[in-house]
Amino acid sequence: MAQVTLTVNGKQRTAEVEPRMLLVHFLREQLMLTGTHVGCDTSQCGACTVLVDGRSAKACTLFAVQADGSEVTTIEGLADGDALHPLQDGFWEEHGLQCGYCTPGMIMSAVNLLNDNPAPSEAEIRHGLDGNFCRCTGYQHIVNAVQHAAGTASKE
């Protein structure tokens, strides 16, 4: 067993973990933060995307011990009380989800994208979300949601 200390959604958390425990399983099973989804276990789908020290990372590719000392933000940590994060609001307003399984990972990747580029073009949004799969929406509404959050949606 190994001890890890992480700041998750603004709260310091210390726990004993198996050295081989993936960050996604630590978040879901030990911290009960089930918004981070396990999709493919091969880092292909992006459903497990979280922010680690402010950068998007696929939590199925990191061991919890690798995140020791890091600041981790999950989908549960984005809203400010009852006020949705602009990306959460964008997904709501622009119907950026259907089944919702990919949505937390999409939003977390989009947070990273907008932190790097606050006014991305449609092509830049599509490139920024490239590591996330959605099997339901066809992506246009997801792009619209990110544009909505960035304030770059066309006003037709």
pTM assigned to the model? 0.93
pLDDT of 155 > 70? The answer is no
Q: Are 49 and 104 spatial neighbours (Cβ–Cβ below 8 Å)?
A: yes
Give the number of domains in the chain: 2
Amino acid 142: pLDDT: 96
Structure token pair of residue 44: 């292909």
Amino acid 27: pLDDT: 98
| CATH value at residue 18 | 3.10.20.30
Residues 70 and 6 in one domain: yes
Q: Are 110 and 129 spatial neighbours (Cβ–Cβ below 8 Å)?
A: yes
Domain range for 37: 2-77
Amino acid 87: pLDDT: 96
Residues 67 and 105 in one domain: no
Q: Are 26 and 15 spatial neighbours (Cβ–Cβ below 8 Å)?
A: yes
pLDDT digits (tens, 9 = 90+) for 33-65: 999 999 887 889 999 999 999 999 999 999 999
Angle between helix axes 140-150 and 103-116 (nearest 10 degrees) is 40
pLDDT digits (tens, 9 = 90+) for 59-99: 999 999 999 999 999 999 999 999 999 999 999 999 999 89
Query: Could you tell me the pLDDT band of residue 156, with boundaries at 50, 70 and 90?
Result: very low
Residues 9 and 66 in one domain: yes
